[in-house]
Amino acid sequence: MKDAKQGAVLLLLLGLAAVPAVGAEQETWTGRYPLPAGGLVEVLNIQGSIEVEGWDRSEVELVAIKTAEEEGQSLADVRVAVEAGPDSLRVHTLYLRKSEEPVRVDYRLRVPRQVRLEELRTVNGDVRVRNVEGTVEAHTLNGNIQQMGISGSVVAGTLNGDVELWLRELPGRAGRLDLEAVNGDVFLRLPSDSHADLEVSTVAGRIESELLFSLAGRAGETSLRTRLGRGGVLIRLRTIRGSIRVVGGEDLL
């Protein structure tokens, strides 16, 4: 019976248990799902943040927090749908009726350190990822994206917000590093002695990096191509109205 459950894809509409909150109606729910190293995790949200942290367990801990902050909002108008398979976990926010001020749902996940975060997406909220060793794809329209202690390919984009990435280790040449903001800054911290090819561009901002200017270009330029070390994975950093900063080694923000 246990094997049959693990092999099936389960769709759960989670009714969340009430937890009192000061100044707002709030509900929270926690669930655990087995997931092997290299498994896939997807979170599709609308109004609220997504936080993911790697840990040394073959399971996902999912915490969903619903918050009604405005008069007329009802926590019953939103559900959390979970599809759990033997090597994947997909989490979606579902609104049962349209509203100009939808109930906020914030997700907190702990996942196997070696994981594929193939889609972390929200409309209004931040996306934060820490200490994972796998692919990450993260998008938001109105919010910041922050990833720290990452080893693997990263694709990240925001319309209104900043993108910040601290890499523990670069992916191989077959990997991908693509960071983009429209109205916001882009910050990248590379590990020491990195080997990579960089394409950096901004329309109304600055490119800041002693590391890059020592190799090619000069301060004040708004687009730059350069090679670090022997070259390697292609790194693309782009913004329209914002600045780009690249640091390496022990450099700090």
Give the distance from CA 169 to its chain's centroid: 17
* Residues contacting 182, CB < 8 A, separation 6+: 158, 159, 160, 239, 240, 241
Average pLDDT of span 222-231: 87
Average pLDDT of span 83-93: 97
Take residue 107 and report the two structure tokens written for it.
């997700």
pTM comes to: 0.87
Radius of gyration of the chain (CA): 20
In the prediction, which pLDDT does 189 show?
Answer: 95
Under the banding of pLDDT at 50, 70 and 90, the label for residue 226 is confident
Average pLDDT of span 195-214: 83
Give the distance from CA 97 to its chain's centroid: 27
Looking at per-residue confidence, does 17 or 111 come out higher? 111
Looking at per-residue confidence, does 219 or 189 come out higher? 189
Exposure of 22 by Cβ count < 10 A (0-12 exposed, 13-18 middle, 19+ buried)?
exposed
| Average pLDDT value over all residues in the chain | 87
Under the banding of pLDDT at 50, 70 and 90, the label for residue 3 is very low
With the C-alpha atoms ordered 36, 79, 52, 184, is the resulting torsion angle positive or negative?
A: positive
Average pLDDT of span 68-83: 90
Distance, first Cα to last Cα, the chain: 52
Average pLDDT of span 19-25: 58
In the prediction, which pLDDT does 213 show?
Answer: 52
Take residue 83 and report the two structure tokens written for it.
């599809």
